[in-house]
Amino acid sequence: MQKTSLVLHTGARSVNREQVAQVATPNRTQTWVPIPHARLLDGVQGCLERAGLSVVNEAHGLTGDGCRYFGLLQVAHADASDFGLVVGLRNSHDKTFPAGLVLGAAIFVCDNLSFSGEVKLARKHTAHVERDLPQLIERAIGKLGDLRRTQDERFASYRQHELTDANAHDLIVRSLDGGVVPVTRLPLVLQEWREPRHPEFRKDRTAWRLFNAFTEALKGNLDMLPRRTQALHGLLDAACGLTVNRN
């Protein structure tokens, strides 16, 4: 299997599992029950292994005070040529977002990430989240098989759908309305569409080339990446005639 180095880009410092486990978990209150970062990580990996799925690569990050955790687990995908399935984890001890998983893909050649679906565990850190956590994780991981099939079909369609410059420029403008990219990133999307930095994307003017132009420009904000890349899939799915709800 081809293997890539998962990169957190910016937004969190890179750490190892031991450092994740060392982060202290705040005391619970009557209405808020924080989950230890390491418990979420271990629970997800254990669930993957019980499902017969192996983690072949991983990356972990913490914000400065350790209150926010981000993790990436690349799952074995033996027949993938240029992308692999990724489970993204996030958790907070400062109430900024609930514990959750995002399911998506990592593009091997450029370490770009895109997420197709998100599962918020128990929606919030509620009183019963610790009790319910194993079942919630099992339910989320159960969606991996469907996601793999969806990604295979989606990316095949992107590669086959040709775009003119006018088509691409229209989609880039529409991406602002869809919340895919902030206006400050538009010049980078255009640059990557016109002159991709990676030779693999220079061969054809397709939705696949535009997709990777967007994901290159979206590197850097882990908080926003799941929502933005889900919006990106919606934009390009519609352009390619993929009308089935894939999230």
Q: Return the half-sphere exposure (C-beta side, CA atoms, 13 A cut-off) of residue 150.
A: 21
pLDDT tens digits for 94-149? 888 888 888 888 776 666 778 877 777 665 666 667 777 788 788 878 877 777 78
With tokens 């993204």, the residue in question is 88
Put residue 90 in one of left, alpha, beta given phi > 0 → left and psi -120 to 50 → alpha: beta
Domain assignment of residue 244, yes or no: no
- Residues 172, 119: one domain? no
**Above 50 in pLDDT, residue 3?**
no
Same domain flag for 21 and 129? yes
For the ranges 26-35, 169-178, 208-217, which has the lowest average pLDDT? 26-35
Inside any domain, residue 61: yes
Cα–Cα distance, 112 to 213 (Å, whole number): 10
- CA 13/CA 33 separation, integer angstroms: 25
Does some domain include residue 207? yes
Q: Which amino acid is at 124?
A: K
> Does 225 lie in the same domain as 123?
no
User: Are the CB atoms for 232 and 184 separated by under 8 Å?
Assistant: no
d(CA 53, CA 32): 32
pTM equals: 0.79
Q: Which pair of tokens denotes residue 11? A: 């937004």
Mark which of 108, 130, 153 sits at the end of a domain. Answer: 153
pLDDT in tens, 30-82: 888 888 999 999 999 998 888 888 888 888 989 878 998 988 888 876 555 56
For the chain, the domain total comes to 2
